[in-house]
Amino acid sequence: MKTKKIYLDYAATTPADPQVVKAMSPYFTNVFGNTASLHGFGAEAKAAVDASRKIIADALKASAREIYFTSSATESNNWALKGIAWANKDKKHIIISSVEHDCVLTSAAWLERQGWQLTLLPVDKNGMVNPADVAKAIRPDTLLVSVMHANNEIGTINPIGEIGKICRERDVYFHTDAAQTFGKLPIDVNRLDIDLLTASAHKLYGSKGAALLYVRTGVRIQPLLHGGGHEGGLRSSTLNVPAIVGFAEATKICLSAMKEENVRLEKLRDKLIAGVLKAIPNAHLNGHPKKRLPNNAHFRFDHIEGEALIMMLDNLGIAASTASACSSPKLQPSHVLLACGLRPQDAHGSLRLSLGRWTTEAEIDRVLEVLPGIVEKLRKISPFK
Amino acid sequence: MYSPKTIQYFNNQKNYGRIKNPDGIGKVGNIVCGDVMWLYIKLGKNKKGEEVIKDIKYETFGCVAAIATSGQVTELAKGKTIAEALAISKDAIISELGGLPPIKVHCSVLAVDALAEAIYDYFSKNKKPIPEDLQRQHEVISESRGIIEDKYHDWIAAEEKMHEAGRER
Ligand code: FES
């Protein structure tokens, strides 16, 4: 029997909203100019990028010249860490949380190998950073604190306002990776004392290939990419105009519906969480029970392995993801789950279901209908019960 | 990333579960990612009077490749003489599956090792002479098993208690 496919991996990437695609389309053909060109074609493209920059800056309560377009959240995070480190060599200490995305972790580790000093902040069992730990970790030579807004895996939302305040008081730059939250949760870079922020279009129904780094005026940063001097000389590269226009359109749509959409998603999420925990024995919720992304449900099931689980779901047309060691390129359990204090075997049977704009209640019901049977089947195959 | 054949084996799991009073049990663990496979064999005689694997079952805590290769090894070994069963190689399994992603090759080793261990267990329980190759393989496997048993201490303990309880009932 073939049923409609169910996509529950919105945290990995989202389909572009048709309205976004429509907004983008003229910029592939008619308005194709290079923003750096002097002629009318270039000017038209530049006007579109300027307008987009303004829309996105407004969404963050930032000013347009503080928004730098990049190609991906990975680039933005690399740039934030390395660019700040290179521009401020008098201070050599960097603090990040232990549940950051791999691109932050590996950039920081790379800097450490170049002579910077690194502190990894612990998290509690729900994956949350304690602001008091940030305060404790800051030293006179601390340059930067980077703590993600919400975790991509388990969805826990960090108290970044409190962390930002501490950093501001102690005169330390504060960067937050908001790839999972921009367009989904309200963000005011001033109220939250954020100096640098990463966001990416494809997580909010825009296209792949457009992301941004917000850099507060006055923050000293070196470029990662040198070249033709785009983006005020801080990020050379011909601008990806269609993707940037789409990014702005996607932002507009998200902002206009944020409240209602979050209420809707939270309802579906809570139904899913309650349903799974009720129907499946030895199932656990990962991440914070309350302070979590409206669209994130993250479970672990004892005694089974996540990749097999994902495959069985996929066979039924349900797309989800896992942080099992077996499915990771390094065959290592998720650093996020380990940081939450789980043992490797507990991290093995993890399942992330992330909801989005087109998730329906019927889809959630379908998952609740098939998931218990799948877990049971895998437990029958497993030596552990 | 998986071949259609692998997915097919994964989807049509055969021979999973436990054999009551098996003649041999092979318990192996994968120190790479932490997976575990237990394999049970029951022996019988074929028409020629040779000892063959009459029944074989597996229990696997592992990925798609681990489950697929577990099932495949049991299918390949069923009805085979012990010598034939010991000759099953991971390469034969991988080629039968239409290839495995390089990162998943270690999972196919798990199944081959479990079979060897089950046969070893049978030999040693029955005080039969153990071929030299098998003895060597057993020593290598035992080493990594120590690491796994350490890691899964709680779960294995709970499991053995359940086994005990089952026997008493
Ligand atoms: S059993 Fe873990 S990767 Fe295959």
3-state secondary structure of B123: helix
**What pLDDT does residue B105 have?**
86
Shortest Cα distance, chain B CAs vs residue A114, angstroms: 30
Residue A105 C-alpha to ligand 1 middle, in angstroms?
25
Interface of A with B in 286-315 (CB under 8 A): 303-305, 307-308, 311, 315
What gap in Å lies between CA A79 and CA A104, rounded to an integer?
10
Residue B58 with chain A: CB contacts under 8 Å? 381
Whose alpha carbon is nearest atom 3 of ligand 1?
A326
Fold of A6-14+258-380: Aspartate Aminotransferase, domain 1 (3.90.1150)
Q: Is B63 in the pocket of ligand 1 (CB under 6 A)?
A: yes
pLDDT category of residue B69 using cuts at 50, 70 and 90: very high
| ipTM (interface predicted TM) | 0.84
pLDDT in tens, A148-158: 999 999 999 99
Would you call B63 and A333 a contact, using CB atoms and an 8 Å cutoff?
A: no
In the DSSP assignment, the letter for residue B51 is E
Rg (alpha carbons) of chain B, rounded to whole number? 16
What gap in Å lies between CA A124 and CA A115, rounded to an integer?
29
With a cut of 50, say whether residue B119 has pLDDT above it.
Answer: yes
Shortest Cα distance, chain A CAs vs residue B115, angstroms: 15
What domains appear along chain B, each with residue ranges and CATH number? 4-167 (3.90.1010.10)
**What pLDDT does residue A240 have?**
97
Would you call A381 and B59 a contact, using CB atoms and an 8 Å cutoff?
A: yes
**Which of B7, B62, B156 is nearest residue A305 as measured by Cβ atoms?**
B62
Residue A380 C-alpha to ligand 1 middle, in angstroms?
18
pLDDT category of residue A9 using cuts at 50, 70 and 90: very high
For range B22-49, the mean pLDDT: 88
**What pLDDT does residue B158 have?**
62
pLDDT in tens, A345-354: 888 899 999 9
Q: Is B35 in the pocket of ligand 1 (CB under 6 A)?
A: yes
Percent of chain A predicted with pLDDT > 90 = 93
Cβ–Cβ under 8 Å, residues A144 and A173: yes
Quote the mean pLDDT of chain A. Answer: 96
Interface of A with B in 312-371 (CB under 8 A): 315, 324-327, 329, 331, 333, 343-345, 348
For range A105-121, the mean pLDDT: 97
